[in-house]
């Protein structure tokens, strides 16, 4: 992909370039950042394609609801790993739909992922928001130097997990009881 020159990204440019380089090196996609925010072991399972989405009713229903909500934006095909629900090119805002108000921070990581890729591709600053499916409520996602640094650190961690032959140690957390990977992770 051609690199856009930028003056608008300013201090964000170097960490965003490093982020995209890491994403490309490990072929990362947005959902992985959501998993990592929730649980390292869950991210490892997804990275190593240990899942049963086709068997788990809630995962199947979630996928169908998400696809029915609105067709994916086709204007960004060709940008690696980029499949957000909606892009407002005029306002430079990327929007990702979510099923409920829960796990807001984790979903925000996925939305941030799209925003950073778009910033790198266009050389302009973008805003990000999550939208509750069916509710039409838009929740802004913070985008700043701190968030970009955090996403870069997460991308590097995902690279380490991709190379790891065994799942990372973990601790029990509230999400475990409803985690879609609970019967596979060997912890619960």
The answer to whether the beta carbons of residues 7 and 122 sit under 8 Å apart is no
The interface mask with ligand SF4, positions 90-129, x = CB under 6 A, is ----------------------------------------
48 binds ligand SF4 (CB under 6 A): no
The answer to whether the beta carbons of residues 187 and 170 sit under 8 Å apart is yes
170 binds ligand SF4 (CB under 6 A): yes
161 binds ligand SF4 (CB under 6 A): no
Q: Which of 36, 117, 151, 179 binds ligand SF4 (CB under 6 A)?
A: 179
Q: How far apart are CA 126 and CA 148, in angstroms?
A: 12
Binding footprint of ligand SF4, residue count (CB under 6 A) = 13
56 binds ligand SF4 (CB under 6 A): no
Q: Which of 19, 22, 37, 41 binds ligand SF4 (CB under 6 A)?
A: 41
- Considering beta carbons, is residue 18 or 175 the nearer one to ligand SF4? 175
Which DSSP string do the residues of 116-135 spell out, in sequence order?
HHHHHHHSS--EEEEEETTT
- Considering beta carbons, is residue 80 or 185 the nearer one to ligand SF4? 185
16 binds ligand SF4 (CB under 6 A): no
175 binds ligand SF4 (CB under 6 A): yes
- Considering beta carbons, is residue 42 or 126 the nearer one to ligand SF4? 42
185 binds ligand SF4 (CB under 6 A): yes
Residues in the chain: 188
Task: Return the CA Rg of the chain.
Answer: 17
- Closest approach, Cβ 29 to ligand SF4, in A, equals 18
Cβ of 124: how many Cβ atoms within 10 Å? 13
Which residues, in sequence order, are CB contacts of 120 under 8 Å at separation 6+? Answer: 3, 4, 16, 17, 19, 20
The answer to whether the beta carbons of residues 85 and 72 sit under 8 Å apart is yes
DSSP state of 28: -
**Among 100, 103, 147, 115, residue whose Cα is nearest residue 30:** 115
Q: Checking DSSP bridges between strand 93-98 and strand 86-88, what pairing results, if any? A: antiparallel
- Considering beta carbons, is residue 41 or 98 the nearer one to ligand SF4? 41
List residues near ligand SF4 by CB under 6 A. Answer: 39, 41-42, 170, 173, 175-176, 179, 181-182, 185, 187-188
């Amino acid at each position: 992909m051609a690199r856009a020159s930028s003056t608008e990204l300013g201090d964000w440019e170097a960490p965003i370039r490093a982020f995209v380089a890491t994403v490309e090196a490990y072929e990362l996609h947005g959902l992985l950042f959501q998993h990592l925010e929730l649980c390292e072991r869950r991210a490892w399972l997804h990275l190593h394609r240990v899942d049963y989405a086709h068997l788990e009713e809630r995962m199947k229903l979630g996928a169908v609801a998400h696809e029915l909500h609105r067709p994916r934006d086709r204007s960004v095909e060709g940008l690696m790993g980029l499949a957000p629900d909606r892009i407002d090119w005029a306002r430079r805002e990327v929007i990702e739909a979510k099923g409920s108000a829960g796990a807001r921070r984790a979903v925000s990581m996925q939305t941030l992922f799209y925003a950073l890729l778009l910033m790198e591709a266009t050389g302009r600053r973008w805003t990000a928001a999550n939208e509750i499916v069916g509710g039409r409520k838009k929740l802004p996602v913070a985008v700043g130097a701190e968030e970009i640094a955090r996403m870069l650190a997460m991308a590097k961690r995902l690279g380490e997990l991709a190379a790891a032959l065994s799942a990372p140690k973990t601790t029990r957390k509230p999400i475990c009881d409803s985690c879609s990977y609970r019967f596979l992770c060997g912890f619960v």
